[in-house]
Amino acid sequence: MSLYSFGLEPLSCHAWNKDRTQIALSPNTNDVHIYQKKGKEWIKIHELTEHSGRITGIDWAPESNRIVTCASDRNAYVWTLKDGVWKPTLVLVRINRAATCVKWSPLENKFALGSGAKLISVCYFEKENDWWLSKHIKKPINSTVLSLDWHPNNMLLAAGSADLNCRIFSAYIKDIEDRPGPTPWGSKMPFGEVLLEYKECGGWVHSVCFSPSGDALAWVSHNSAISVADASKGKEVTQLTTRHLPLLSLLFVSETQIVAAGHDCCPYQYSYKGPGCLEFVKKVDIPKQSSKGNMSAMQHFRNLDKRATDEEDTELGSLHQNSITQLCILEGRKAKVEKFSSVSLDGAMVIWDFKRSNRSQASDPGRREGRRSLGIGIGMEIEEGADGPGGPGPCCVSFNQDSTSLAVGTKTGYKLFSVTSVDKLDCIHESTETPDVYIVERLFSSSLVVVVSQSMPRRMNVYHFKKGTEICNYSYSNNILAVRLNRQRLVVCLEESIYIHNIKDMKLLKTLLNTPSNPSGLCALSINHSNSFLAYPGSDTIGEIIVYDANNLSTVTMIPAHDSPLAAITFNASGTKLASASERGTVIRVFSIPEGLRLFEFRRGMKRYVNISSLSFSPDAQFLCASSNTETVHIFKLEQHSPSGEEEAPSWSTYVGKMFTAASSYLPAQVSGMMSQDRAFATVRLQMAGQKNVCALAIIQKLPRLLVASSDGQLFIYNIDPQDGGECTLVQKHRLFGSDKEWEETEKSELTEPPQACQSYAATVAIPTSGPVTATLTGYSEDGGAKKGEVIPEHEFAAGPVCLDDETEFPPINWCRDGSGRGKGRRP
């Protein structure tokens, strides 16, 4: 699916040329704009300006390349392209009310025009006088004609009107065409003959459409119903009253499948297999796509002022942000539509890939779009590998709890990397015995790793990868969507339930059943086991967060974080702060834990349809980074602004900030609140856009770094200036597959050597009055040996017997939850 914005004005109607390289549309004015596709942009090449009233209908004849338009000025024009200029020809429609809709016949030798004059004008070209004439169909129409569609035989015309009736008329004109043969709808067909009249539509009939064979007619009405009349079954009518808002437009996309859309701002698919068999299939909309249109800050604020509200209050979780006014076939025939387009009152046009949508549903009906693995073990799931389906590219990528290790799941197994050095990416372990790994989580720098494979998505395997043994495995009632670890707890998240295990002996401690639907497996677990808080969505419609104490097994609080569903959540290292972002992707909020009070609010940007895929705090919780499906990673600084701070040095940014502060008192509260939100302290411009990626803030070689792992199998390492922020510097990038040596010559010019001497991360960024308290304790290396002189935050160590001595901790367990007895001695 692709979305293109044509401005802020509503789009009332549109039509495509034959090869679908040009589109004619009206921005709810008396003009028609024609755009041509050039690359990824739409360029306006013509304007049709003859009408004096608002355009209500456009249709483009593919073979003759003629455009017909109608408007509220009671006129219709047929436009012909001559010498690169569109020339209008006035049609004698003879109506005294506004025209409402227009449609070319299949043979393009006539067109039908509906109006508020309670009639239909069937217009045809008279060669003798070189003009367009019309014949009227009046009886028994008692109100405005709202919709029209032609039968494939070029003779029958369906009409929906505001008198709550749907009708089929004969539109045979003996002067220009041969006498028609009999049809399932009737055999006598003089002009204006009524072949079907259904009076129980229950509301205004907004749209009508014949099936590809012409044996069925579907329509939608204002009572939120969709109906189908079947001529092969005695014109029997089947009606389905939906729970959606009223539908405004519909299309047959095959002989048995219908797509309809309207005030719900997204298309729905329906299936008709005969009388009494009209069923809802699915919602076609996938709210992952990003907007292709660009909107300046001035346009954005004008739009907010026009609606007298804030984007936070109005943005929907669908591609379109307002009612869909019209659907059109883009690719394929009516019997087998592959793509269709929609225009909306939000000024956007969306292209829907119906063929791909149905193919993916048929091949994997249980597949869930946009599934991510976020939180403490920050990660992501990738639909295809970097080298294509079946290639060695990654299926998932995740950092461990302290961002010292990177785990990658692949089609052939999984890999573990050490990221404790900038210049070198060491592969600690590689397994090829578990294919199609889509979840792999490592516990800190220990040898405990949790693996879930697509071949057995309901089974979790826990391995001691250095010993090559399986510690245990668990099977669950549904697919595993996410796994979270700390030194006390292991949490498994399903779509509607969460399981909490004691990581010491893998005993199941608690099952949270009937949680709100969570198809993305979104959850977060604090890595501080003494504050072992678990966060998960409290609603599937709004951004509520449930904070649960995984140690005491009790609910702590509920945080009303956002107005739309959650997209990302994460804790800081000590478990005292929680960051969240919603599906809108514009605002990131930070809350205190366990109180649930809002501490910070950051605005990522104003662009719509941004999917935030990853949030991560720095080790001292002074910084927060956010990555999305755009090319920009934002880093925010968590600092409280002093009301009596020192006077800032004069600069352009300072001047602009003061200007906005002064102006905010004159603006609506929603707008002034948005302007007071903090912006990014530092940013990173990635070399790719539209890909999933996961980010983490870490200390590598005593310097602050930003790590970004991308879905195409690359790891980027950036330097951060903790004092001044700004654009971060790329210092190294590694390939997760293949050799870095292949890049050395081509990439050397892009990399900047890190400074030889610099203050430590904590010294340069910690706030003196609230800096983290640390104790000089002996750390642990990956093989259990002591590291001399390392300073480890005290909260990382348990008060109890939990440790990371791999030789005695986590021994192989001789049992499995599903009773398979395959736990002992299995090699990962």
Three-class HEC string of 164-203? CCEEEEECCCCCCCCCCCCECCECCCCCCCEEEEECCCCC
Taking only the tens place, the pLDDT of each residue in 377-428 is 445 554 443 444 344 556 789 999 999 999 999 888 999 999 999 988 999 9
Domain tally for the chain?
A: 2
Domain span at residue 175 reads 2-363
Cα distances from 404 to residues 61, 78, 429, 716, 790, in angstroms, run 62, 68, 14, 14, 14
Q: Which residue has the tokens 């750390």?
A: 779
Question: Which of 93-97, 432-436, 758-762 is the most confident on average?
Answer: 93-97
Res 679 pLDDT > 70? yes
Q: Which residue has the tokens 């294919």?
A: 435
Q: Kindly state whether residue 419 falls inside one of the protein's structural domains.
A: yes
Res 528 pLDDT > 60? yes
Res 445 pLDDT > 50? yes
Helix (H, G, I), strand (E, B) or coil at 107: coil
Contact predicate 340/328, CB 8 Å = yes
**At which of 709, 739, 765 does a domain end?**
765
Cα distances from 62 to residues 23, 68, 346, 442, in angstroms, run 12, 12, 27, 59
The closest of 473, 466, 434 to 447, measured between CA atoms, is 466
pLDDT of residue 38: 86
- Say yes or no: 353 and 463 in one domain: no
Contact predicate 828/822, CB 8 Å = no
In which band, very low, low, confident or very high, does the pLDDT at 782 lie, cut at 50, 70 and 90? very low
Element of type H or E holding 104: strand 99-104
Task: Please state, in angstroms and rounded to a whole number, the distance separating the CA atoms of residues 555 and 549.
Answer: 6
Count of Cβ atoms closer than 10 Å to residue 782 Cβ: 20
The sign of the CA dihedral 477, 482, 483, 489 is: negative
Res 750 pLDDT > 70? no
pLDDT of residue 523: 96
- Say yes or no: 441 and 560 in one domain: yes
Cα distances from 480 to residues 49, 289, 465, 491, 499, in angstroms, run 58, 25, 21, 11, 10
Q: Kindly state whether residue 249 falls inside one of the protein's structural domains.
A: yes
Residue 291 DSSP code: B
Helix (H, G, I), strand (E, B) or coil at 355: helix
Residues 6+ apart with CB under 8 A from 239: 200, 202, 225, 226, 227, 228, 278
Question: In terms of C-beta distances under 8 Å and separation of at least 24 residues, what long-range contacts does 740-746 make, across chains too?
Answer: 740/425
The closest of 115, 161, 156 to 142, measured between CA atoms, is 161
Taking only the tens place, the pLDDT of each residue in 291-307 is 434 555 666 666 666 55
Residue count of the chain: 828
pLDDT of residue 381: 53
Q: Kindly state whether residue 99 falls inside one of the protein's structural domains.
A: yes
Percent of the chain surpassing pLDDT 90: 56
Q: Kindly state whether residue 469 falls inside one of the protein's structural domains.
A: yes
Res 649 pLDDT > 60? no
pLDDT of residue 723: 87
- Say yes or no: 80 and 130 in one domain: yes
Dihedral through CA 701, CA 705, CA 706, CA 707, nearest 10? -10
pLDDT of residue 713: 84
- Say yes or no: 351 and 477 in one domain: no
Contact predicate 681/637, CB 8 Å = yes
Task: Please state, in angstroms and rounded to a whole number, the distance separating the CA atoms of residues 161 and 171.
Answer: 17
Q: Kindly state whether residue 808 falls inside one of the protein's structural domains.
A: no
- Say yes or no: 521 and 408 in one domain: yes
- Say yes or no: 257 and 317 in one domain: yes
Contact predicate 622/613, CB 8 Å = no
Give the pairing type, strands 13-16 and 2-5.
unpaired
Res 564 pLDDT > 70? yes
Domain of residue 131, CATH code: 2.130.10.10
- Say yes or no: 344 and 431 in one domain: no
Mean pLDDT of the chain: 80
pLDDT of residue 710: 85
Res 249 pLDDT > 90? yes
Give the pair of three-digit tokens for residue 351: 């292209």
Phi, psi of 478 (to 5 degrees): -145, 175
Phi, psi of 755 (to 5 degrees): -60, 150
What is the maximal distance between C-alpha atoms in the chain?
A: 101
Res 287 pLDDT > 90? no
Helix (H, G, I), strand (E, B) or coil at 35: strand
- Say yes or no: 7 and 71 in one domain: yes
Task: Please state, in angstroms and rounded to a whole number, the distance separating the CA atoms of residues 743 and 751.
Answer: 11
Poorest-confidence range of 31-40, 620-629, 800-809? 800-809
Please return the burial class of 370, using the count of CB atoms within 10 Å of its CB with bins 0-12, 13-18 and 19+.
middle
In which band, very low, low, confident or very high, does the pLDDT at 2 lie, cut at 50, 70 and 90? confident
**At which of 765, 790, 818 does a domain end?**
765
Res 618 pLDDT > 50? yes
Res 794 pLDDT > 70? no
Helix (H, G, I), strand (E, B) or coil at 772: coil
Of residues 133 and 826, more confidence is placed in 133
Cα distances from 313 to residues 309, 529, 666, in angstroms, run 7, 37, 20
Cα distances from 611 to residues 212, 485, 544, 722, in angstroms, run 38, 25, 18, 26
Query: HEC string of 428-481?
Result: EEEECCCCCEEEEEECCCCCEEEEEECCEEEEEEEEECCCCEEEEEEECCCCCC
Of residues 653 and 38, more confidence is placed in 38
Q: Kindly state whether residue 798 falls inside one of the protein's structural domains.
A: no
- Say yes or no: 409 and 339 in one domain: no
Give the pair of three-digit tokens for residue 628: 């999305």
In which band, very low, low, confident or very high, does the pLDDT at 464 lie, cut at 50, 70 and 90? very high
Taking only the tens place, the pLDDT of each residue in 684-722 is 988 776 677 899 999 999 899 999 998 788 899 999 998
In which band, very low, low, confident or very high, does the pLDDT at 736 lie, cut at 50, 70 and 90? confident
Percent of the chain surpassing pLDDT 70: 75
Cα distances from 9 to residues 131, 341, 480, 693, in angstroms, run 34, 18, 44, 34
| Mean pLDDT of all residues in 225-235 | 94
Cα distances from 285 to residues 4, 268, 338, in angstroms, run 15, 8, 15
pLDDT of residue 356: 62
Task: Please state, in angstroms and rounded to a whole number, the distance separating the CA atoms of residues 210 and 231.
Answer: 11
pLDDT of residue 606: 58
CA-based end-to-end distance of the chain: 39
Give the pair of three-digit tokens for residue 102: 């227009």
The closest of 131, 132, 120 to 156, measured between CA atoms, is 120
Res 623 pLDDT > 70? yes
Contact predicate 23/75, CB 8 Å = no
- Say yes or no: 553 and 627 in one domain: yes
Helix (H, G, I), strand (E, B) or coil at 632: strand
Amino acid at 164: L
Phi, psi of 790 (to 5 degrees): -75, 145
Give the pair of three-digit tokens for residue 463: 């391995």
Contact predicate 111/105, CB 8 Å = yes
Cα distances from 435 to residues 384, 399, 408, in angstroms, run 14, 20, 12
Contact predicate 408/736, CB 8 Å = yes
Taking only the tens place, the pLDDT of each residue in 160-214 is 999 999 999 999 998 888 888 889 999 888 999 999 999 989 899 999 999 999 9
| Mean pLDDT of all residues in 443-471 | 92
Task: Please state, in angstroms and rounded to a whole number, the distance separating the CA atoms of residues 376 and 573.
Answer: 9
Task: Please state, in angstroms and rounded to a whole number, the distance separating the CA atoms of residues 384 and 754.
Answer: 34
**pTM of structure:** 0.49
Contact predicate 461/451, CB 8 Å = yes
Taking only the tens place, the pLDDT of each residue in 658-672 is 554 555 445 544 444
pLDDT of residue 129: 80
Res 33 pLDDT > 80? yes
Phi, psi of 135 (to 5 degrees): -120, 145
Helices (H) and strands (E) in the chain, counts: 7, 62
Contact predicate 466/447, CB 8 Å = yes
- Say yes or no: 456 and 583 in one domain: yes
pLDDT of residue 379: 56
Q: Kindly state whether residue 407 falls inside one of the protein's structural domains.
A: yes
Give the pair of three-digit tokens for residue 381: 């799931």
Q: Kindly state whether residue 822 falls inside one of the protein's structural domains.
A: no
Residues 6+ apart with CB under 8 A from 19: none
**At which of 720, 739, 765 does a domain end?**
765
Give the pairing type, strands 726-727 and 682-685.
parallel
- Say yes or no: 358 and 475 in one domain: no
